[in-house]
C-alpha cells in the first residue's frame, strides 16, 4: 500500500448528494455512511452514576456490518476515541478506508457520553468515569471477547481516555495510534493559552455552553479549512446549551493542576504508559497551538519505540487537513498483517552483511602524537600586491595531537555537564577547528549531532530544530540571539567566552572555553564506547523541494560514508583538502586529511572567490578541493583577481570534487583551464546517500560523444557516471501519468525513478514515518525521488526530479536536458522547464533569467523565445509552448543549484491563464 507523503491532503469520501443524514438530526453529514450508525443501551458502572446498574444510550459508528456484507473477516478492531468538542464523525475516513481495505479492520468510533449523539446524562463525568464508560461500551459491543487484537486510535483528550482503557485491557490491547493529544503536562509549564482562556471563569460558560465559540475555534484550527457543510456536521450534535454541557465539563476536567480532582488518575495513566510497550504510531500536526511539540516529545519519551510522522504546517484537526486513513491502514498491515505480508524492517535488512566497524573518529586516535596540521582556519583575503599573493591570512592552525587532546577533553566536559549518549546536540558554529572539535567530541561520547544549513532561513531553521528537538544547543553569539528570539530548543552552550550579563540574557549555562578549562585530565574508561548502530547524526536536506527533512545516520553508516569517499578518490592520511562544501568539512579528520575551509559564508556557496580558494589551497599545499556548483561559478567569475602565485597553487591541485547538483560540461571545461592538473569529478548523491556514482570530465566528454554517435541510452540528461564501490543502482520505469512501475531495471534508455542501496545510505528520516516508508517501498532500496536512465555502457544519466516530470500527451518528459539546452542560448542565464496543465496533457514552459537581468516578469521577446524553443527542440525534441522571463528566481524557489519547479509551474500556469505576470 502506497502512503501519501508529508503534505498529502485528506481523502474525499463524501457520498453523492449533500451528505448522509441520521435519524436524530436533519443536518447533512458529508462523508458519513448511515450504515455505520448504531445506538445501543449500555449498563453504566461509572462512579459518578447515582443509581447502580443504570443504562445509558450510546451512539457509535461501526463498520462491522459493512465488512460482514462483503464476506470479509476483519483483521482486528480499531477503537477510535474523539476528544473535545468533536464526535465520531472525526473518524469517517478511517471507517471507510478500513472497510474497503484488502485486509479490512473493524472500526468502532465512539460518541462519548454527553458528546456527539450519545445520551446527555446531566452529570459531570471526570477522567476516571470516562475510562470506565469506555470499558462499559466495549464490553457491551463484544469487543472484549471478540478474540481480535484491539488498536486504540485517539485525538485530543481521547488520548488520555483511550490509554486508561488500554491499561485496563492489557490482554486485548495490541497497539496505539495517536494524533495531536497529550497524556501528561509538566506542572512547571503553563498550559496552552487557548485552554487557559477557556478555563477562565468569566469566559468558560459563554464560550462552551452559552455559544458555539469553543467549537468554532476548534474548527478554525485546521489548514486548509473544512467546508461549510463539514463544519455544520461537526456542530450538529451541539445545537443547544444543554447539548453543549459535556463540552464545558470536558474543559473543566483538564487535570493539569495537582489539586485537580482528576489529577491522580491522570498521573497514574501517564505513568503506566511507559511501562507497556506495544506498537505505537504518532501522527502529528506541527502547527497545533494546543497540543504543541512538547506533548509529542513527552509521548516519544514514554514510547521511544514509536513510529512518528510530523505533518509540517498541519494544525489541531489533523484528520480534516491530511489523509491519515491510508498511513494508518498501511501501518496496521505492517504490524498485524499475516506473516508473509509483514514488511521486514529497514533495520533488519540493513543488518545483513555488515562490515567490521571502525569508528568515524578512529584517525584521531591513530594520530594522537602527530604535530602536523589537522585543521586550519583561514581569515579574510586582503588582496594582492604587484601580482604576487599577499601573506597568508591563517587565523589558527591545529595539529593532530592538539585536535585529539581537545576532542577528548571536550567530550569529558560534555559528559560531566550532563550530555548523555543519545542526546541530540545542535551545532550552530561556522566550519573550522572549533566546529570540528565539537563534532568529534559529540560523536565520541555517542551524542547525536544535529546539523541544519543556515541557508534554510529563520523559518526553515525553526521548523527543523523544533522538529528534531535537540536537548542541547551550541552556538556562536548570533545563533544564540536567534535561538532566544525564535524559541529554538535545547539547553544553551556558548561557543565563545561570554560575560555574565550576556549569559543571563541569552540563557547560556556554559561556554566551550569554560568546559575545556574544566578538564585537565581524562580518566581511563571515562569516555564510553559507541554503539555502531546507534544514531550519530541528523543531517537536514537543503529544503529546495519542500520542507527540509532530517536524515538520520548511525555511527556505522557515517563510517561507511568515510570509507566510500576514501576508496573512491584515493584520499589517504596526509592528503590536504580544501572543504568549500560544508558537508565535507567534517570528513577531513575522519580521513586523516588535513583540512581547511576557505574564507567564505558557508551558508551561501557563491561567496567563495577564486582568491579565497587559492589562499586556502596554499595554506596546507592542498591536493584536493571540494566545492559546490554555485561556488564554482563564482570562483570562475572572480578568477581574473588571482595573482601569479595563487594561479600556480590552483594549478597544482590534483583532485577537484563538486557535489550538490549536476554540472554542465562547459562549466567543467572552464574549471579545467583554471586547474589543469586536476582530475575533475562530480559525484552524484544526496543527503540520504553521498556519493552514489562518480563521473570525471573525461567520462562526461566520452558520454557526449557517445550521445552524438547514437549509443543506446546516451543523452537526455546529465551523465553522472557509474556506481561507486558498494553502491547498487536501478530505475523504476515511468508510466504515462508520471507514476512508476515496481520492477527495477537497468535497461539502456529506460527512464524511471532512481533507486539505490549502499552501506553508507541513511538509516531513516527523522520523525517522518510516512516519508521513510515511501522512500523504502522497494524493499532494501532507497527511492531517491530523482529520475534518470542508464546507457549501454552502464552509466547513469540524471534527468531531474520525479515530482517535476512533465506528463505530456506523447508521454512523460524530464526537464534537465531541456534546461541545459536553454542555458546555452546567448542572453539566457538560469533556466527551468516546467509542466503546466492537467496531468497527461501538460505543455512545457521555459522560465528563464536573462543576461542582463530583466526589470520585471514578462513574456520573452519573440526573437529570444524562438531561439530558446528552437535550441531545446533541436537538442532534446521537446516542444516548448511558451518562454517566460523572471528578473531572478527567489531563494525560496532556487536554493543555490536546485530549483523548486513545482512552485515555478504554479506561477507559470497562473501567468498564462490570467495574462498577469506577477513577481514571485
**CATH code where residue 699 lies:** 2.30.38.10
Residue 50 falls inside a structural domain: yes
Residue 356 falls inside a structural domain: no
If asked whether residues 56 and 156 sit together in one domain, one would say: yes
Mean pLDDT across the chain, nearest whole number? 90
The structural domain count of the chain equals: 5
Sign of CA dihedral 65, 70, 73, 79: negative
| 424-428 and 448-451 beta bridge pairing | parallel
From the list 686, 692, 688, 684, the residue with the least C-alpha distance to 765 is: 688
Domain ranges, residue 488:
400-548
Beta-sheet strand order (sheet of 37-43): 37-43, 55-62, 106-111, 77-81, 150-156, 173-181, 280-285, 307-311
If asked whether residues 866 and 883 sit together in one domain, one would say: yes
Residue 636 clears pLDDT 60, i.e. is over it: yes
If asked whether residues 532 and 600 sit together in one domain, one would say: no
Give the helix/strand (H/E) hosting 745: none
Least trusted range by pLDDT, from 66-70, 455-459, 754-758, 774-778: 455-459
Residue 466 clears pLDDT 80, i.e. is over it: yes
Higher pLDDT, 240 or 920: 240
Query: How distant is the alpha carbon of residue 146 from its chain centre?
Result: 39
Higher pLDDT, 247 or 602: 247
Taken as a whole, the chain contains a residue count of 920
What is the rounded average pLDDT of the residues 166-177? 96
pLDDT at 199: 76
Cβ neighbors of 854 (< 8 A, separation 6 or more) are 885, 886, 887
Higher pLDDT, 56 or 346: 56
Cβ neighbors of 393 (< 8 A, separation 6 or more) are 378, 379, 380, 381, 382, 599, 615
Tell me the C-alpha distance between 852 and 885, whole Å.
12
Residue 342 falls inside a structural domain: no
If asked whether residues 461 and 596 sit together in one domain, one would say: no
If asked whether residues 113 and 239 sit together in one domain, one would say: yes
Tell me the C-alpha distance between 316 and 304, whole Å.
23
Predicted confidence (pLDDT) per residue in 663-684, tens digit: 778 889 999 999 999 999 999 9
**CATH code where residue 448 lies:** 3.40.50.980
**CATH code where residue 829 lies:** 3.30.300.30
pLDDT at 898: 60
If asked whether residues 306 and 381 sit together in one domain, one would say: no
pLDDT at 346: 47
Residue 11 falls inside a structural domain: no
Provide the grid cell at 508. 547560556
Residue 571 clears pLDDT 70, i.e. is over it: yes
**CATH code where residue 576 lies:** 3.40.50.12780
Helices 213-220 & 228-235 angle (0-180, nearest 10): 140
Predicted confidence (pLDDT) per residue in 834-859, tens digit: 999 998 899 999 999 999 988 899 99
The residue among 804, 823, 847 that closes a domain is 804
Residue 583 falls inside a structural domain: yes
Residue 572 near residue 730, CB atoms below 8 Å: no
Q: What is the DSSP letter of 225?
A: P
pLDDT at 94: 98
Residue 7 falls inside a structural domain: no
Torsion angles phi and psi, residue 403, rounded to 5? -65, -45
If asked whether residues 590 and 639 sit together in one domain, one would say: yes
If asked whether residues 112 and 237 sit together in one domain, one would say: yes
What is the rounded average pLDDT of the residues 897-919? 79
Higher pLDDT, 198 or 419: 419
Residue 508 near residue 483, CB atoms below 8 Å: no
Give the helix/strand (H/E) hosting 688: none
Residue 592 near residue 573, CB atoms below 8 Å: yes
What is the rounded average pLDDT of the residues 198-206? 80
Torsion, Cα of 572, 575, 581, 586 (10° steps): 60
The residue among 287, 303, 336 that closes a domain is 336
Q: What is the DSSP letter of 18?
A: T
pLDDT at 864: 95
If asked whether residues 721 and 796 sit together in one domain, one would say: yes
What is the rounded average pLDDT of the residues 383-401? 76
Residue 576 near residue 376, CB atoms below 8 Å: no
Least trusted range by pLDDT, from 109-118, 180-189, 377-386, 495-504: 377-386
Tell me the C-alpha distance between 798 and 716, whole Å.
8
Torsion, Cα of 55, 59, 63, 69 (10° steps): 70
Least trusted range by pLDDT, from 376-385, 802-811, 831-840: 376-385
If asked whether residues 635 and 751 sit together in one domain, one would say: no
Residue 63 falls inside a structural domain: yes
pLDDT at 912: 86
DSSP-based three-state secondary structure for 862 = helix
pLDDT at 339: 58
pLDDT at 431: 87
Predicted confidence (pLDDT) per residue in 868-898, tens digit: 999 999 988 899 999 999 887 655 444 445 6
Least trusted range by pLDDT, from 104-113, 155-164, 799-808: 799-808
Percentage, residues of the chain above pLDDT 90: 72
The residue among 740, 769, 804 that closes a domain is 804
pLDDT at 247: 96
pLDDT at 574: 84
pLDDT at 258: 84
pLDDT at 11: 43
What is the rounded average pLDDT of the residues 805-823? 89
Residue 63 clears pLDDT 50, i.e. is over it: yes
Q: Report long-range pairs for 354-360 (Cβ below 8 Å, ≥24 apart).
A: 354/556, 354/759, 355/560, 355/563, 355/759, 357/532, 357/555, 357/556, 357/559, 358/559, 358/563, 359/443, 359/530, 359/555, 359/559, 360/443, 360/536, 360/555, 360/558, 360/559, 360/562, 360/590
If asked whether residues 497 and 623 sit together in one domain, one would say: no
Residue 384 clears pLDDT 80, i.e. is over it: no
pLDDT at 149: 97
If asked whether residues 544 and 610 sit together in one domain, one would say: no
Amino acid at each position: 500500500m502506497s502512503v501519501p507523503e508529508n503534505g498529502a491532503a485528506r481523502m474525499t469520501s463524501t457520498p453523492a448528494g449533500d451528505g448522509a443524514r441520521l435519524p436524530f438530526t436533519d443536518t447533512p453529514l458529508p462523508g458519513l455512511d448511515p450504515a455505520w450508525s448504531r445506538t445501543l443501551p449500555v449498563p453504566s458502572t461509572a462512579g459518578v452514576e447515582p443509581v447502580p446498574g443504570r443504562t445509558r444510550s450510546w451512539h457509535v459508528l461501526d463498520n462491522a456490518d459493512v465488512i460482514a456484507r462483503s464476506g470479509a473477516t476483519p483483521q482486528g478492531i480499531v477503537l477510535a476515541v474523539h476528544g473535545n468538542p468533536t464526535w465520531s464523525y472525526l473518524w469517517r475516513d478511517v471507517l471507510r478506508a478500513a472497510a474497503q481495505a484488502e485486509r479490512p479492520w473493524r472500526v468502532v468510533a465512539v460518541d462519548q457520553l454527553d458528546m456527539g449523539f450519545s445520551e446527555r446524562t446531566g452529570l459531570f463525568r471526570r477522567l476516571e468515569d470516562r475510562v470506565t464508560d469506555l470499558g462499559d461500551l466495549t464490553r457491551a459491543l463484544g469487543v472484549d471477547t471478540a478474540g481480535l487484537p484491539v488498536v486504540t486510535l485517539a485525538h485530543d483528550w481521547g488520548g488520555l481516555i483511550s490509554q486508561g482503557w488500554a491499561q485496563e485491557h492489557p490482554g486485548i490491547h495490541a497497539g496505539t495510534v495517536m494524533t495531536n493529544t497529550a497524556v501528561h503536562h509538566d506542572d512547571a509549564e503553563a498550559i496552552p493559552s487557548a485552554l487557559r482562556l477557556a478555563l477562565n471563569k468569566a469566559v468558560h460558560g459563554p464560550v462552551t455552553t452559552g455559544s458555539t465559540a469553543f467549537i468554532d475555534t476548534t474548527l478554525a484550527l485546521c489548514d486548509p479549512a473544512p467546508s461549510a457543510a463539514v463544519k455544520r456536521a461537526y456542530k450538529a450534535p451541539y445545537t443547544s446549551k444543554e447539548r453543549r454541557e459535556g463540552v464545558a465539563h470536558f474543559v473543566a476536567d483538564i487535570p493539569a493542576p495537582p489539586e485537580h480532582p482528576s489529577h491522580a488518575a491522570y498521573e497514574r495513566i501517564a505513568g503506566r504508559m511507559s511501562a507497556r510497550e506495544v506498537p505505537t504510531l504518532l501522527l502529528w500536526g506541527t502547527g497545533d497551538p494546543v497540543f504543541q511539540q512538547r506533548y509529542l516529545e513527552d509521548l516519544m519519551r514514554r514510547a521511544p519505540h514509536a513510529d512518528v510522522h510530523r505533518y509540517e504546517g498541519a494544525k489541531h484537526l489533523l484528520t480534516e487537513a491530511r489523509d491519515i486513513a491510508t498511513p494508518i491502514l498501511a501501518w496496521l498491515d505492517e504490524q498485524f498483517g499475516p506473516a508473509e505480508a509483514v514488511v521486514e524492517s529497514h533495520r533488519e535488512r540493513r543488518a545483513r552483511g555488515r562490515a567490521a566497524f571502525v569508528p568515524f573518529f578512529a584517525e584521531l586516535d591513530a594520530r594522537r602524537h602527530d604535530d602536523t596540521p589537522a585543521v586550519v582556519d583561514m581569515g579574510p583575503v586582503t588582496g594582492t600586491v604587484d601580482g604576487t599573493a599577499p601573506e597568508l591570512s591563517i587565523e589558527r592552525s591545529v595539529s593532530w595531537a592538539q585536535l585529539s587532546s581537545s576532542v577528548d577533553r571536550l567530550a569529558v566536559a560534555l559528559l560531566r555537564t550532563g550530555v548523555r549518549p543519545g542526546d541530540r546536540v545542535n551545532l550552530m558554529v561556522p566550519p573550522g577547528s572549533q566546529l570540528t572539535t565539537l563534532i568529534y567530541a559529540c560523536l565520541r561520547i555517542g551524542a547525536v549531532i544535529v546539523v541544519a544549513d543556515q541557508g534554510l532561513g529563520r523559518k526553515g531553521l525553526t521548523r527543523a530544530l523544533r522538529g528534531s528537538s535537540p536537548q542541547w544547543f551550541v552556538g556562536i553569539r548570533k545563533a544564540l540571539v536567534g535561538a532566544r528570539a525564535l524559541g529554538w530548543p535545547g539547553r544553551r552552550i556558548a561557543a565563545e567566552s561570554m560575560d555574565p550579563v550576556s549569559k543571563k540574557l541569552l540563557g547560556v549555562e556554559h561556554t566551550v572555553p569554560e568546559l575545556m578549562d574544566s578538564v585537565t585530565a581524562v580518566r581511563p574508561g571515562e569516555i564510553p564506547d559507541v554503539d555502531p548502530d546507534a544514531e550519530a547524526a541528523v543531517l537536514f536536506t537543503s529544503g529546495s523541494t519542500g520542507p527540509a527533512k532530517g536524515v538520520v545516520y548511525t555511527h556505522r553508516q557515517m563510517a561507511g560514508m568515510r570509507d566510500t569517499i576514501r576508496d573512491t578518490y584515493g584520499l589517504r592520511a596526509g592528503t590536504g583538502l580544501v572543504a568549500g562544501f560544508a558537508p565535507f568539512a567534517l570528513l577531513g579528520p575522519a580521513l586523516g586529511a588535513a583540512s581547511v575551509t576557505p574564507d567564505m559564508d558557508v551558508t551561501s556557496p557563491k561567496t567563495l572567490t577564486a582568491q579565497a580558494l587559492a589562499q586556502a589551497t596554499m595554506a596546507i599545499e592542498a591536493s584536493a578541493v571540494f566545492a559546490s556548483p554555485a561556488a564554482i561559478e563564482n570562483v570562475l567569475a572572480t578568477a581574473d583577481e588571482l595573482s601569479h602565485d595563487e594561479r600556480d597553487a590552483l594549478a597544482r591541485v590534483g583532485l577537484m570534487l563538486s557535489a550538490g547538483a549536476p554540472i554542465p560540461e562547459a562549466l567543467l571545461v572552464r574549471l579545467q583551464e583554471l586547474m589543469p592538473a586536476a582530475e575533475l569529478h562530480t559525484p552524484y548523491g544526496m543527503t540520504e546517500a553521498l556519493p552514489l556514482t562518480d563521473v570525471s570530465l573525461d567520462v562526461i566528454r566520452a558520454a557526449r560523444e557517445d550521445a552524438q554517435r547514437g549509443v543506446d541510452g546516451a543523452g537526455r540528461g546529465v551523465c553522472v557516471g557509474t556506481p561507486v564501490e558498494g553502491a547498487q543502482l536501478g530505475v523504476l520505469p515511468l508510466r504515462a501519468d508520471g507514476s512508476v512501475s515496481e520492477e527495477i531495471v537497468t535497461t539502456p534508455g529506460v527512464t524511471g525513478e532512481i533507486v539505490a542501496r549502499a552501506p553508507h545510505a541513511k538509516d531513516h528520516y527523522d520523525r517522518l514515518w510516512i516519508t521513510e516508508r515511501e522512500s523504502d517501498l522497494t524493499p532494501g532500496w532507497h527511492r531517491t525521488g530523482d529520475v534518470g536512465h542508464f546507457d549501454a555502457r552502464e552509466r547513469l544519466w540524471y534527468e531531474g526530479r520525479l515530482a517535476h516530470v512533465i506528463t505530456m500527451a506523447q508521454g512523460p518528459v524530464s526537464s534537465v536536458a531541456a534546461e541545459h539546452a536553454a542555458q546555452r542560448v546567448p542572453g539566457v542565464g538560469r533556466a527551468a522547464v516546467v509542466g503546466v496543465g492537467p496531468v497527461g496533457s501538460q505543455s512545457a514552459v521555459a522560465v528563464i533569467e536573462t543576461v542582463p537581468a530583466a526589470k520585471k516578469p514578462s513574456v520573452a521577446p519573440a526573437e529570444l523565445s524562438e531561439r530558446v524553443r528552437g535550441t531545446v527542440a533541436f537538442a532534446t525534441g521537446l516542444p516548448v509552448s511558451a518562454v517566460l522571463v523572471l528578473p531572478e528566481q527567489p531563494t525560496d524557489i532556487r536554493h543555490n543549484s536546485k530549483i523548486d519547479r513545482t512552485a515555478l509551474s504554479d506561477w507559470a500556469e497562473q501567468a498564462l491563464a490570467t495574462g498577469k505576470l506577477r513577481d514571485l
